[in-house]
Amino acid sequence: MSSSMARPSQRPGGKRGAPSSVRRQARLRPEYAGTYPGIEVGVWESAAVLCDRVIAAGLLRGSPVDWRERALPPEHFEFRGGDGQAERPRREDR
């Protein structure tokens, strides 16, 4: 292989493949299904992708966006995975 070609990423220990950290996932709670049309209830998805979909849907509906609030409120969504942080700081805390 020439030095200009990209090599597959390797994790520590020589294992190839996905990074060792699990990406954060979210799923919509059944009682909030009507609040988020187009989001399937109970299906685990990438939290980042789901966040983009929720924000985009709100913008398309003309809903006001409060950038200080979470796009995926923990009352409406369940979460798993991530880097182990229980809570990310809100914008005003950064």
Per residue in 71-90, pLDDT (tens digit) is 999 999 999 998 755 555 55
Q: What single DSSP character describes residue 20?
A: S
Q: Identify whether the C-beta of residue 50 lies closer than 8 Å to the C-beta of residue 26.
A: yes
pLDDT at 17: 44
C-alpha gyration radius of the chain: 18
Q: How far apart, in whole angstroms, are the C-alpha atoms of residue 79 and residue 25?
A: 6
Reading the block at residue 65, the tokens are 């966006």
More confident residue, 12 or 36: 36
The strand ranges marked E within 1-94 are: 22-28, 45-46, 77-82
Over residues 34-60, mean pLDDT: 93
pTM of the model: 0.63
pLDDT at 14: 43
pLDDT at 28: 97
Q: Of 5-14, 46-55, 84-93, where does the model show the most confidence?
A: 46-55
